[in-house]
A and B are shown apart, each in its own frame.
Chain A
Amino acid sequence: MTMGRSTIAGAAGFIVVAAIGPWMPPWLVSLATIAFANALVVLGLIVLWRTGLVPFGQALFYAIGAYAVALIGRYTPIRDVFVVILAGAVCAGLAAYAIGFLLARYREIFFAMLSLAMSMILYGVLVNTESLGSTDGFHVEAGTFLGYRPDGIWLNLSIYWLVLGCSAVLAWLVSLYFRSVAGALSNPIRDNEIRVEYLGISVDRLIHLKLVVSGILAGVGGVLAALAIQHVDPAMAYWTTSGSFVFVTILAGAGSVAAAFVGSLAFELFRSLAVDIMPGLWQMMLGTALLLTILFLPEGLGSLLGRLRGRWGKAS
């Protein structure tokens, strides 16, 4: 019953956030669009993190999704956002599937490092390939929505709603996945792989599956970010991009699906606030926030909510 309730609460949350869109200031719409697109990548990281895996190269799939849209816009007449999202998801998923054969054998730091190396290979390729825009990247054509071609403020709002829609659907699918047998085995794998193997379950294959799931999520995140920013560049594959995704994951905690979205929004707000107040020192503020989170809120911001709920529960 509680599961059903959280699904309804999630759906209601997305509807409310979508409904207030037209009344939000334009900067907030853009910020929330990017935040929710990035939240999908974070959701993918949470899928892996529940197994104890932290990839430092998730920007690889993010960049693959983003470049897929950009290239489709450049070389084909296809502009429909739903088609390009699907294309980006398929590209990222296939890349994750291929890399998974290598990556699924690794754990802990080695997993993190190898995934980092993969994303840096893509970065190197992008920087050195003139036809892919080299260091400058290139412009992404504005998308159409099943033939509808919005412009001006409506383009931003349409993308905002598109991102929210994708987020809602994917968040629901991921929460289903967490409740499936494969998802439920995450924590046991983290605790003790060999025991899971003794149950007759292939841990490598489960991790391979998780990689594909997280790759697809990151790919869709990349597509949506590219559509929102209307520009792609190699920095999307650089390790600092991956670093900020991991950062948000720590900030949010792996407790729930909602944490990814709240955490990502909080991160973007905090970052633009930090850049606003202290333009030269925003990295220091981010670093301090990360440090304080790790030291004092080891389970992430999500756990704060749980703790408050616990306190209220006792009081009533």
Chain B
Amino acid sequence: MLTVFAIVTDGLVYAAYLFLVAVGLTLIFGVMKILNVTHGSFYAFGAYGAATAAGIWYDKGLPDAGGFLFMILLAMAIGIVIGAVLERGILRFVYGRDEVVVVLVTYAAFLILEDVIVLIWGPRSYAAYQPMVAAGSIDVGDLTLSNYDIGLVVLAAAVAAIGVWALKHTRYGRLLAVVIFDREAAAAFGINVTVVYTVTFIIGAMLGALGGAVMAPKISITLGIGVEVIVLAFAVVAIGGMGSIEGALIGALIVGISRAAAVHLLPQLELFVIYAVMTLVLAFRPYGLFSQVQPRKI
């Protein structure tokens, strides 16, 4: 019984993490049809930025509560800047090329950004554990849960709710729906697709950096943290159906719970289980659980 409870709580926390890193990826794919490898860099930049922010804040001995906010804000600002530079500087020149070619462009940008991280922060690793310590923990039965983890789950739920609400009920969200449905028709009706693309990419980049910032206190921030995140986020998004926020949420829950189950029951399967689940889902639902029907072109 304790194991079941542990699996559910661990699974939820891991799912929250997965959702936060996957949501920006799925947004960018949904609107722009770009599978954005650079998302790993956004995550890494967010984490490094948060670590820098934590260093500045806590060295000055400022109160704990504001430190976390400062970390998140700085990371999101970095995400906005990189997103804007990347979209305006590189990506807009390759719109209309093969999807796979665009993936490679983002892969190239990812390689470049990996070294930019070394240039800015150097090869040493960073820690930003202060918010995690400050948050403390509570005992639930025999288990000790970190308040920070609980906050992570709440944050993920909030991002999901805001995302779905914004897409369905705001003006910008409705414009997005039109652009997603048919880019050319949207342009013909006077929607400025270029601006929509830029804004979407920047929001996606900001979300990626946010994912990195909130994970920063839980991990050791070191070179190569972006690499792993990319494949994980891809798996989550593919399970849920590319471009769907609800899909990313369900995908994150499935992957999170099954990984937690593997960790507690069969630890040697941990790495394997995520991709096995993805393969299993895709074998029955080739385009993910929440995919939209694509018309055939003759």
Residue positions of A touching B, CB distance < 8 A: 52, 54, 102, 105-106, 108-110, 112-114, 116-118, 120-121, 123-125, 127-128, 192, 194-195, 239-240, 243, 246-247, 250, 280-284, 286-288, 290-291, 294-295, 298
- Do B103 and A295 touch (CB < 8 A)? no
B112 cross-chain contacts in A, Cβ below 8 A: 283-284, 287-288, 291
Q: How far is the CA of A108 from the CA of B97 in the complex (A)?
A: 13
Q: How far is the CA of A247 from the CA of B108 in the complex (A)?
A: 9
- Contact A240 B227, CB 8 Å, known A110-B238, A280-B115: yes
A295 cross-chain contacts in B, Cβ below 8 A: 93-94
- Does residue B2 face the partner (Cβ distance < 8 Å to A)? no
- Does residue B276 face the partner (Cβ distance < 8 Å to A)? yes
Q: How far is the CA of A121 from the CA of B271 in the complex (A)?
A: 8
Q: Out of B107, B238, B276, which one reaches A113, CB within 8 Å?
A: B238
- Do B104 and A290 touch (CB < 8 A)? yes
- Contact A121 B108, CB 8 Å, known A109-B242, A116-B231: no
How many chain-B residues does the 8 Å CB contact rule pick out? 47
Majority SS at the chain A contact face: helix
Q: How far is the CA of A110 from the CA of B286 in the complex (A)?
A: 8
Q: How far is the CA of A295 from the CA of B278 in the complex (A)?
A: 33
Interface centre among A128, A192, A294, A298 (most CB of B within 10 A): A294
- Do A109 and B103 touch (CB < 8 A)? yes
Q: Out of B90, B93, B100, which one reaches A54, CB within 8 Å?
A: B100
Q: How far is the CA of A280 from the CA of B223 in the complex (A)?
A: 12
B178 cross-chain contacts in A, Cβ below 8 A: none
Interface centre among B90, B97, B275 (most CB of A within 10 A): B275
- Do B286 and A117 touch (CB < 8 A)? no
Q: How far is the CA of A21 from the CA of B196 in the complex (A)?
A: 57
Chain B, 34-80, CB within 8 A of any chain A CB: 35
- Contact A194 B296, CB 8 Å, known A105-B286, A294-B108: yes
Q: How far is the CA of A153 from the CA of B19 in the complex (A)?
A: 54
The tally of CB-CB contacts under 8 A between chains A and B is: 124
- Do A291 and B286 touch (CB < 8 A)? no
Q: How far is the CA of A284 from the CA of B104 in the complex (A)?
A: 14
- Do A287 and B282 touch (CB < 8 A)? no
- Do B104 and A283 touch (CB < 8 A)? no
B105 cross-chain contacts in A, Cβ below 8 A: 291, 294
B160 to chain A, nearest CB (A): 22
Q: Out of A121, A250, A290, which one reaches B111, CB within 8 Å?
A: A290
Residue positions of B touching A, CB distance < 8 A: 35, 90, 93-94, 97-101, 103-105, 107-112, 114-116, 118-119, 123, 227, 230-231, 234-235, 238, 242, 268-272, 275-276, 278-279, 282-283, 286-287, 296-298
B98 cross-chain contacts in A, Cβ below 8 A: 52
A286 to chain B, nearest CB (A): 6
A108 cross-chain contacts in B, Cβ below 8 A: 99-100
- Do A286 and B100 touch (CB < 8 A)? no
B242 to chain A, nearest CB (A): 7
Q: How far is the CA of A287 from the CA of B104 in the complex (A)?
A: 10
- Do A117 and B269 touch (CB < 8 A)? no
Residue of A with least CB distance to B98: A52
- Do B103 and A121 touch (CB < 8 A)? no
Q: How far is the CA of A246 from the CA of B98 in the complex (A)?
A: 14
Given contacts A120-B235, A295-B93, A298-B101, 7 further A-B contacts (CB under 8 A): A109-B100, A113-B238, A118-B279, A124-B271, A280-B119, A281-B118, A283-B112
Residue of A with least CB distance to B238: A113
- Contact A121 B276, CB 8 Å, known A112-B103, A287-B112: yes
Q: How far is the CA of A289 from the CA of B230 in the complex (A)?
A: 22
- Do A294 and B227 touch (CB < 8 A)? no
- Do A250 and B104 touch (CB < 8 A)? yes
Q: Out of A54, A128, A239, A283, which one reaches B271, CB within 8 Å?
A: A128
Q: Out of B109, B116, B282, which one reaches A291, CB within 8 Å?
A: B109
B123 cross-chain contacts in A, Cβ below 8 A: 280
Jot down 8 A-B pairs with beta carbons below 8 A, ordered by A. A110-B282, A117-B279, A117-B282, A120-B271, A123-B271, A246-B107, A250-B104, A282-B115
